Chains A and B, each alone.
Chain A
Amino acid sequence: MARSMLIISRQAPWAGPSAREALDIVLAGGAFELPLGLLFLDDGVFQLTKAQQAASLEQKDLTANLQALPLFGIDSLFVARRSLAERNLDESSLALPVEILDDAGLSTLINRYDHVITI
């Protein structure tokens, strides 16, 4: 049975390459059809907000890549409720359908996976 991996993405979309490099891990695993989960935590939730204009920073907009994740077999996307609340965001602020978890839910989530990488 394949070992599962949870990737926790904590950085804002343009805080350097971390958002992209976390997503690259997810996409690489998806290519092998591995059981993966992707959790957006802390500033990572900013990757999901609507109407971003990455071109203003001459940066790549990752929203399209994130929206395409289900096509790669990755549909276990999660967001921390606390991180949303701290940033005055809610489900309606987000560009993708995600499961929103509170602290206890996050703790349970992490403990369901064989490996975890937090970027």
Chain B
Amino acid sequence: MKFVIALFAPPHSPAARRALRFAEAVLAGGHEIVRLFFYQDGVHSASANVVAAQDELDVAAEWSRFVSANQLDGVVCIAAGLRRGVLDAGEAQRYQRPAANLAAGWELSGLGQLHEAAQQADRLVCFGGQ
């Protein structure tokens, strides 16, 4: 089956870890991940600037590794990212902000990418919630 996995929660949220373990199990089960889409506070889970405590799981780093290792299409919603201060180099320059902090493996793009993926996918599974 083809999956789209959407994350709406920051890396310190239990949902971020749950989504990652689910995504790993999707691939382990022989299924395909069409796209990962990070929205709302999920954009923080694609931040390169998160410093997890020594005794805590570094979920943002694990997500970045997972996307790269499996060459997945990882998209962070640009509007949600801007609102929350997760920017790539282009946006940091455009808005004259001091730092670009989008982690490697992720791309900023619009909600159209979520819809495009959902059109291709058999299952859309969302994780997160305030």
B112 touches A28 (CB 8 A): yes
Which of A2, A5, A17, A32 contacts B112, CB < 8 Å? Answer: A32
Q: Is the interface of A mostly helix, strand, loop or mixed?
A: mixed
Is A3's CB under 8 angstroms from B119's CB? yes
Q: Which residue of B lies closest to A25 (CB)?
A: B111
Q: Does A60 contact B (CB under 8 A)?
A: no
Across the interface, B110 reaches (CB within 8 A) one of A17, A18, A28, A119, namely A28
Bound-state Cα–Cα, A87 to B62, Å: 43
Pair B115/A28 contact, Cβ less than 8 Å = yes
Is A117's CB under 8 angstroms from B126's CB? yes
B119 touches A2 (CB 8 A): yes
CA distance A118 to B125 in the complex (A): 11
Binding site for A on B (CB under 8 A): 6, 8, 39-40, 79-80, 83, 110-112, 114-116, 118-119, 121, 124, 126, 130
Please name the 5 residue pairs, one residue from A and one from B, whose CB atoms are nearest each other, closest first: A28-B111, A115-B124, A29-B115, A115-B118, A3-B119
